[in-house]
Amino acid sequence: MTDPLATDPPPDPLHPAATPALTFRSGGEDLLGVLHVPGGPGPHPVVVLLHGFPGIERNFDLAQVLRRAGYAALVFHYRGSWGMGGAWSWGHVLEDARAVVAALRDERLAAAHRLDPARLTVVGHSLGGFAALMTAAALPSVTAVASVAGVDFGAVAARCRADPATRAAWVDAFAADLGPLRGTSGEALMAELEAAGESWRLARLAPRLTDRPVLLIGGSRDTVTPPDAHHDPVVAAFRAEPVERLEHHVLPTDHALSDHRVTLARTLLAFLARHA
């Protein structure tokens, strides 16, 4: 198999690679996305890439690598972010992710872009990692799921209830990143995750993922979602259930995997090759 990180695939004049813009509906709003379609007749397996909060790192490098490896990769924006209508909230992120996955399973859309919706993986980073696991747990049609530096919002809520200083630090961190977002505040985001509480603890998802491949990646130098708080407890819970096709790695890098993007891409591609 040609290494998608080393060379371009041969062109297919009859079924060329393409990068169409797509629009999805969720909560009465339009969500804009871009689909990276590989060359070839397909149908191609699909990977939905969910970006984090507020979306500065959107993993377009992964989308391009995935396309070269034969996967159709979608990146989109949630409600209330980066010019999209509506208000931003954690709950809207979850609703939007589910709506997009459902739309990609539409036969007409799949046929138009040579997609195989029966092979659909959800991959997310940070908030997107949380959303990816929540989406897969809610939708049995998701073939496999990967979380990269995922946030365990249930664990965050518990720590914030126990320690006012920790709560204030998270509120300030949310407020500092509101530039691309609309309709929310640091305090509103904290109140929402506190209300969700234990229902958003990732360890609770294990019983709903026992039959599917799961990839969990953390970073040993991650100060946003340190692995001892956000990665290790989830791995332990998933292994105890057990989630039989669980893979997990802690790489020596930061929250954005800034200096390990090739390793990240290779790890994800190997996981998909085995399971998707």
pLDDT band of residue 276 (cuts 50, 70, 90) is confident
Please report, for the chain, the start and end positions of each structural domain, with discontinuous segments joined by +: 21-158+199-275
Could you tell me the sign of the dihedral formed by the alpha carbons of 170, 172, 176, 182, in that order? positive
Hey, is 69 helix, strand or coil? coil
Q: What is the pLDDT averaged over residues 121-135?
A: 98
Rounded distance, CA 151 to CA 144, Å?
19
Of the CA atoms within 13 Å of residue 222, those in its CB half-sphere come to: 27
Averaged pLDDT of the chain: 97
Q: What is the pLDDT of residues 226-266, one digit of tens each?
A: 999 999 999 999 999 999 999 999 999 999 999 999 999 99
Q: How confident is residue 190, by pLDDT bands cut at 50, 70 and 90?
A: very high
Proportion of the chain above pLDDT 90, given as a percent: 96
pLDDT tens per residue, range 60-103: 999 999 999 999 999 999 999 999 999 999 999 999 999 999 99
- pLDDT band of residue 6 (cuts 50, 70, 90) is confident
Quote the strand ranges of the chain, DSSP E. 21-26, 29-36, 44-50, 72-76, 115-125, 144-148, 214-219, 246-251
Q: Is the pLDDT of residue 203 over 90?
A: yes
Q: Which CATH number fits domain 21-158+199-275: 3.40.50.1470, 3.40.50.720, 3.40.50.1820, 3.10.129.10?
A: 3.40.50.1820
